[in-house]
């Protein structure tokens, strides 16, 4: 998307770590949540990547993404089992040691009865040296932030409280606003006029998303940008285009 | 995952192209479908990536992924509007021209009445030179295959018929099999024994996936591999571990 003002774009990537997503067993539910939260903070989500639980791949991808984007949000792989390797891989990506975080250690010591705090559970209190904790009010085991990387759980309910806890502190630009108009005019008829409107509003991002509902194809036309007046002006032109083509614009 | 036999692994990546996924507007539904279909064909999905409708990013990512994996499946961006730029970007990635495909052209000419086949609709009959078409029985506009890249629609119903049309022709290894056991034993208690089972079955991939249902945390233990006997043997050990810890293994 082109810029609507002079503030520099703040960008982010989401890194979903987990074989269960790549095997098709689990439908990812975290990307949508993070994407919406980032947009509200004025952070542009530029990429999402799903990778398997393989150390070399995790390390290389964390390093690639943190160099490329202002923020990286990872989900998955911070539990107590052998396949939870995100924390140690992030430590290796940053070239630091994995240490027992004193605050997390105390949280766990206070919570578990004597004898219950075994080696596996202690692993969840290990973070890369220099990391700060991300609170997990649901099931205790924290996420963490190191550099521009935010490491969160994979379970959606836990990921959401973690993300909500950090998002207010993100340095973003003005929020990305959107306007949406639905209609039943075929995309093939809308295309020419819509392209012309996009050309006149290069500061906005106009998307055309066909969808079928009860066997009927409709199109959602979504305008996104940071300037409400420009959005409203472009929206009026899109609505006029739809009417010119015999359709009925339905605003969302 | 380690190999269960001597056949080389066949790998794939999914490339989801579309601002609507990164903005959080649309929940991707295609990755799970492709992932399951590939697993059944014995193709290992190694990565999924979501990128915006930006030409340089699409071109670079297509070239990166097609060099790295045996197969690349893209979704989105092959409609008639200005934001549908996948076909031209794939052509540029392969360094070939975008041409009007004669078969697609005839399909469209036969379907549309005189005057209806406008420039926007003709764009959907344009493919990179040398590509073969992927049929779209739902809404006509085809996908295409060039080299090891399969370009498909973003609308799930259409993507699915396209993928079903090509998946039988993929060269895969033996299918990846799985066994799943659920239990209510906390991961922190399972972790030690489960890690030991994983060590003894290095040819299998054992994942531990906690989930909450009606406020209760459970764990799904998923064993994946290509050798049914090894899977069953490991599954029996996991079930015994659960019983040793006082739990009840529930097979899926």
Kindly report, residue by residue over A63-106, the tens digit of the pLDDT.
999 999 999 999 999 999 999 999 999 999 999 999 999 999 99
Residue A4 has pLDDT above 70, yes or no: no
Q: Please, which residues 114-143 of chain A have a Cβ atom closer than 8 Å to chain B?
A: 116, 118-121, 123-124, 139
Tell me the CA distances in angstroms from A181 to A185, A219, A220, one per residue in order: 11, 8, 6
Chain A residues touching residue B125 (CB < 8 angstroms): none
How far, in Å, CA of B33 to CA of B27, rounded? 13
Contact map slice: A 231-250 vs B, CB within 8 A: none
Give one word for A86, left, alpha or beta, with left for phi > 0 and alpha for psi -120 to 50.
alpha
**Shortest CA distance to B7 belongs to which of B235, B231, B227?**
B227
- Which pLDDT score is estimated for A6? 53
For B56, other C-beta atoms within 10 Å of its C-beta total 9
Where residue B73 falls among pLDDT bands split at 50, 70, 90? very high
* pLDDT value at residue A251: 92
Is the pLDDT at B213 greater than 60? The verdict is yes
Asked if the model's pLDDT at residue B1 lies above 50, the reply is no
Length of chain B: 252
Determine the pLDDT at residue A3: 43
Rounded to a whole number of angstroms, the distance from the CA of B132 to the nearest CA of chain A is: 23
DSSP sequence for A191-239: HHHHHHHHHHTTTSEEEEEEEEETTEEEEEEEEEES-HHHHHHHHHHHH
Which secondary structure element, helix H or strand E, spans residue B13, and what is its range?
strand B10-17
Q: Nearest by CB to A188, from B35, B121, B205: name it.
A: B121
In the prediction, which pLDDT does B242 show? 98
Residue B212 near chain A (CB below 8 Å): yes
Instruction: Give kind and range of the element (H or E) at residue A58.
Output: helix A55-68
Q: What is the pLDDT of residues A153-206, one digit of tens each?
A: 999 999 999 999 999 999 998 888 999 999 999 999 999 999 999 999 999 999
The number of helices, as runs of H, and strands, as runs of E, in chain A is 9, 12
DSSP category for residue A136: -
| Token pair of B144 as six digits | 């295409």
Separation of alpha carbons B14 and B120, rounded Å: 27
Angle between the N-to-C axes of helices B30-40 and B156-167, in degrees from 0 to 180, rounded to the nearest 10: 10
Q: How confident is the model at residue B252 (pLDDT cuts 50, 70, 90)?
A: confident
Q: Which domains does chain B have, with CATH numbers?
A: 10-167 (3.40.980.10), 178-251 (3.30.70.600)
- φ/ψ region of A61 (left if φ > 0, alpha if ψ in -120 to 50, else beta) reads alpha
Beta pairing partners, B73: B14, B150
Answer whether B208's CB lies under 8 Å from A79's CB. yes
Spatial separation of the C-alpha atoms in residues B147 and A86, rounded to whole Å: 34
Find residue B210's DSSP bridge partners: B219
| pLDDT at position B223 | 97
Q: Report the mean per-residue pLDDT for chain A.
A: 94
Residues 6+ apart with CB under 8 A from B154: B16, B17, B18, B30, B75, B76, B77, B78
Q: Nearest 5°: CA angle at A143, between A123 and A147?
A: 110
- Quick one: pLDDT band at residue B7, thresholds 50, 70, 90? low
Q: What pLDDT is stored for residue A215 in this prediction?
A: 75
Contact B182, B252 (CB under 8 A): yes
**Structural element, H or E, at residue A181:** strand A177-183
The C-alpha of B21 sits at a distance from chain A's nearest C-alpha, in angstroms, of: 7
Residue A34 has pLDDT above 90, yes or no: yes
Question: Chain A closest CA to B167's CA: distance in Å?
Answer: 15
Position B230 pLDDT exceeds 70 = yes
Look at residue A108 in the predicted model and tell me its pLDDT. 95
Interface contacts (A, B; CB < 8 Å): 191
Cβ contact, residue pair B195, A121, below 8 Å? no
How big is the CA angle at A51 (ends B59 and A172), to the nearest 5 degrees?
70
The percent of residues in chain A predicted with pLDDT above 70, rounded, is 97
For residue A188, list chain B residues with Cβ-Cβ distance below 8 A: 80, 118, 120-121, 124
Pull the structure tokens for residue B34: 């492709």
Question: Poorest-confidence range of B97-101, B111-115, B186-190?
Answer: B111-115
Looking at residue B130, its pLDDT comes to 98
Mean pLDDT of A38-47: 95
Contact A20 B209 (CB under 8 A): yes
- On whether the CB atoms of residues B76 and B154 are closer than 8 A, the answer is yes
A108-145, pLDDT tens digit by residue? 999 999 889 999 999 999 999 999 999 999 989 999 99
């Amino acid at each position: 998307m082109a810029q609507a003002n002079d503030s520099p774009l703040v960008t982010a990537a989401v890194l979903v770590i987990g074989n269960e997503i790549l095997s098709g067993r689990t439908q990812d539910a975290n990307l949508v949540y993070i994407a919406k939260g980032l947009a509200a903070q004025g952070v542009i989500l530029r990429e999402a990547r799903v990778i398997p639980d393989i150390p070399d791949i995790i390390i290389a991808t964390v390093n690639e993404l943190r160099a490329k984007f202002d923020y990286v949000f990872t989900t998955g792989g911070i539990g107590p089992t052998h396949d939870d390797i995100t924390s140690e891989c992030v430590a290796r990506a940053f070239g630091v040691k994995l240490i027992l975080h004193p605050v997390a250690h105390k949280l766990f010591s206070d919570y578990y009865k004597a004898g219950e705090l075994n080696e596996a559970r202690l692993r969840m209190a290990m973070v890369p040296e220099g990391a700060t904790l991300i609170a997990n009010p649901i099931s205790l085991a924290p996420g963490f932030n190191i550099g521009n990387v935010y490491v969160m759980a994979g379970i959606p309910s836990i990921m959401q409280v973690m993300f909500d806890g950090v998002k207010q502190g993100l340095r973003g630009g003005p929020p990305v606003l959107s306007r949406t108009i639905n209609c039943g005019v075929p995309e093939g008829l809308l295309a020419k006029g819509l392209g012309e409107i996009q050309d006149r509003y290069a500061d906005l991002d106009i998307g055309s998303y066909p969808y079928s509902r009860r066997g009927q194809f409709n199109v959602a036309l979504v305008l996104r940008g940071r300037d409400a007046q420009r959005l409203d002006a472009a929206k009026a032109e899109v609505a006029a285009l739809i009417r010119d083509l015999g359709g009925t614009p339905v605003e969302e």
